[in-house]
Structure 1
Amino acid sequence: MHDSRVIGPFLRGFCFLVALAAAQQAVAREGDGIRHVPAFDLPLSPYMSPEAQAAARAEIAEGDPLAHMSNEELARNIQQIRASVDMSIAPRVEALRQRYGVSLRQEKWSGVPVTIVTPKAPVARGLLIELHGGGFIFGSAGTLGMLEAIPVAAMTGMRVVAVDYRLGPEHRYPAASEDVAAVYREALKRHRPGDIGLFGCSSGGVLTSEALAWFQKERLPMPAAAGVFCASADARYGGDARYVVAAVNNAPMPKPDGSLPIMEELYYGQADLADPLISPLFSRGVLAKFPPTLFITGTRAAELSAAAHTHSRLTALGVEARLHVWDGMGHAFHLNTDLPEAQEALEVISRFFKAYVGRVGR
């Protein structure tokens, strides 16, 4: 028989030494600051609605075919990708039009095609300009743009002008910024700057930040407010979230330096993504002139870190900035208006623009 009074302390001491040695090895291995994270199972967040959990399960089962396509493959198949995206979204757009009772019409503002969404309710004095997503290579004002333009128009009572800016790879930076500025100039002929808001999702959110920088370069007055949704003022999509979300979504992992080919490069070409006209995050002077800005994102969205960092930089500069994050939700979740979380986000967006756009005295 053994004496536990002697053996117990010995075993505890031995275990402590083993744990210490393992920790020292981990420190030595991770002395470069890189964490080597073992694989683990990540369940759906308990904070997600049942509808969002069901949507997430379906998304995990289906996967994202574009996530594993090289830029060469994307460019080679771009016409088929665009047609497929537009065809899949068209029924959703029609359902939204009927659900919210808005009217749609196509025009050209300063030569740029736009889709104008007019709400059924009395139109408020404000005008909102929407910039669609699609990685700067697919999507349009009348498809992806409508997924947020229609509900936002209906919920704010403001007309929304969705912009069909030029896309890559046929067009390169700064084509999209130029198109947004052209539409904005036309809007300024009809409205005061204080009656105009600007917003977009994904690449449209990045373009919103780029447009604010471009307006400054062109010496145009700032709009009353901006919405940078599922995006940031950093076109690189950097930070922790880029790695974590790549692992969660079974997408290609970035290199240790954070570099990873992104589809947006088919639009940016050889442009420097650290240029403040592309990533305003790199200029305190540009950021300081931003109007009140709203950020919408989720914990499983690759832009989370960049959005949070942009928000913190704006706040440090004294700019009115708001950041809303939904646990468990992924990129562009608010475009699925069937989800309770999307409705919550749209309510936040609506209240924000109604608070800042069209205020008397601005």
Structure 2
Amino acid sequence: MITQPRRATRSHAPAAKPKAAQTRNATAWGWGILAGLVVATSVAAQDATPLQVPAKSVPVPGDVSPQMAKVIGAPLRANWAIQPRTGEEWKPVAEAGAAALARQVPGMLARLKVTVERTTIDGVRAFILTPDDIPPENRDRLLVHVHGGCYVLNPGEAGLPEAIFMAGFGRFKVISVDYRMPPEATYPAAHDDAMTVWKAVTRTTDPRRTAIFGTSAGGALTLAIVLRAKQEGLPLPAAIAPGTPMSDTTKVGDSFVTNAMLDNVLVSPDGFCDAGAKVYANGHDLKDPMLSPVYGDLSGFPPTILTTGTRDLLLSNTVRVHRKLREAGVEAFLQVGEGQSHAHYIRDDTAPETKAVFMEIAGFFDRHLAR
């Protein structure tokens, strides 16, 4: 703003306005300018030419552990571009991946000193994970876990790594929901199974001593459980931890573009995970908050800790949820892993970054769960 030189005489100057009036006028003027800028920016964004970014090689960050460097530096997922269109086509893909991952589970259980037991809760398949040593403050606490996998992957023991890490590093008892997936069932089967377990937990455990957590599709399910509990007038958990949630299956978000072909797990917004979500949705509106929770009413949510990475295709999904929670007045904490692609923090339990993530979540839960 250019200020005109002050006149030498004030004999014809108008009387000075009261300070409060000056403040109101200045504030109104400021908001008017801001509103104009917002409108102009919105119009400009619609008309702007996309930024052209030159091709470049992206090195592994130099300040990560050797274990995480190996995960970050891995090539793009081999089958990232597959597009199975039915549950029957997804089944062999899921079974092959599950067999490979399940072979790693015994080592994780041994290293983190956790035992696992199969169970059924009101007809829903589940696992109970118990650390060898539960501290006194956690003995009456219980966590519910919903695994990830784009709603079509990681059945059975393959869905357990994150639950094992939470039980082992955080030393909480965990119930992990082995929800139905295509071709066994489509939407809303996973949501219904997760809700069934949540209702059962609230009948036996004080909800003030509980939390819900999960990653990717499990992060979206974590948010959806709270949305449904609110709608149905059910108790809410004391805290939740949605990790890199699939909070917008309509693929809105800056990082779907900026991190495409950089995230070595999901790789592309049009890759396997998008195909899996569509098969699970089975024609249901993808913008429904049950499938895209960022469009839901997040007011009244419990304290929330979110986790993502700088190379995560769902970084924007996570950031947008964090911002919406903050706007709703919800206590929300966001942790972002350096160089990490989608859900890298559940890839290697020996990486110090993995332990740091789960210790952060455990500390958050400890502050918010009743003892």
Q: TM-score, normalised by structure 1?
A: 0.82
Query: Structure 1 unaligned runs (5+)?
Result: 1-27
Query: What corresponds to 1:96 in structure 2?
Result: 108
Q: What amino acid does structure 1 have at the position aligned with 2:238?
A: A
- Secondary structure of 1:325's counterpart equals strand
- Secondary structure of 1:168's counterpart equals coil
What CA distance in whole angstroms lies between the structure 1 residues aligned with 2:224 and 2:249? 9
Query: What corresponds to 2:358 in structure 1?
Result: 346
Query: What corresponds to 1:191 in structure 2?
Result: 205
What CA distance in whole angstroms lies between the structure 1 residues aligned with 2:261 and 2:113? 41
Query: 1:103, 1:119 within 8 Å by CA — same for their partners in 2?
Result: yes
CA spacing shift, 1:45–1:293, aligned 2, 3 Å: same
Give structure 1 regions of 4+ aligned residues with deviation exceeding 4 angstroms: 249-255
Displacement of 1:33 = 4.2
- In the alignment, is residue 288 of structure 1 matched against residue 304 of structure 2? no
In terms of mean alpha carbon deviation, does 94-103 or 299-308 score higher?
94-103
Displacement of 1:331 = 0.9
Displacement of 1:338 = 2.1
Displacement of 1:114 = 0.6
- In the alignment, is residue 124 of structure 1 matched against residue 135 of structure 2? no
Q: What amino acid does structure 1 have at the position aligned with 2:247?
A: A
Aligned equivalent of 2:312, options 289, 301, 313:
301
Query: 2:150, 2:216 within 8 Å by CA — same for their partners in 1?
Result: yes
Query: 1:118, 1:160 within 8 Å by CA — same for their partners in 2?
Result: yes
Provide the aligned length of Structure 1 versus Structure 2: 320
What CA distance in whole angstroms lies between the structure 2 residues aligned with 1:82 and 1:261? 15
Query: What corresponds to 1:334 in structure 2?
Result: 345
What CA distance in whole angstroms lies between the structure 1 residues aligned with 2:169 and 2:140? 14
Query: 1:226, 1:293 within 8 Å by CA — same for their partners in 2?
Result: yes
Identical amino acids, percent of aligned pairs: 29
* Residues 67-99 of structure 1: CA deviation (Å, up to 9, x unaligned): 111133x74542222221221112321011111
* Residues 8-65 of structure 1: CA deviation (Å, up to 9, x unaligned): xxxxxxxxxxxxxxxxxxxx9x9434222222222222232232222333x21xx313
Displacement of 1:232 = 5.0
Query: 1:177, 1:214 within 8 Å by CA — same for their partners in 2?
Result: no
In the TM superposition, what are the counterparts of 1:227-266 in structure 2 within 5 Å? 227-249=241-263, 261-266=274-279
Q: What amino acid does structure 2 have at the position aligned with 1:317?
A: A
In terms of mean alpha carbon deviation, does 223-232 or 190-199 score higher?
223-232
CA spacing shift, 1:33–1:310, aligned 2, 3 Å: farther
Query: What corresponds to 2:191 in structure 1?
Result: 177
What CA distance in whole angstroms lies between the structure 2 residues aligned with 1:197 and 1:237? 28
Query: 1:71, 1:261 within 8 Å by CA — same for their partners in 2?
Result: no
Displacement of 1:101 = 1.9
Q: TM-score, normalised by structure 2?
A: 0.80
- Secondary structure of 2:283's counterpart equals coil
CA spacing shift, 1:246–1:102, aligned 2, 3 Å: same
**Alignment RMSD (CA, Å):** 2.2
Query: Structure 2 unaligned runs (5+)?
Result: 1-43
Displacement of 1:129 = 0.4
Query: What corresponds to 2:80 in structure 1?
Result: 67
In terms of mean alpha carbon deviation, does 95-104 or 304-313 score higher?
95-104
Displacement of 1:156 = 2.7
- Secondary structure of 2:126's counterpart equals strand
Aligned equivalent of 2:150, options 135, 144, 151:
135
Query: 2:301, 2:330 within 8 Å by CA — same for their partners in 1?
Result: yes
Query: 1:115, 1:163 within 8 Å by CA — same for their partners in 2?
Result: yes
Query: 1:82, 1:138 within 8 Å by CA — same for their partners in 2?
Result: yes
Query: What corresponds to 2:288 in structure 1?
Result: 275
What CA distance in whole angstroms lies between the structure 2 residues aligned with 1:225 and 1:141? 26
Aligned equivalent of 2:62, options 17, 21, 46:
46
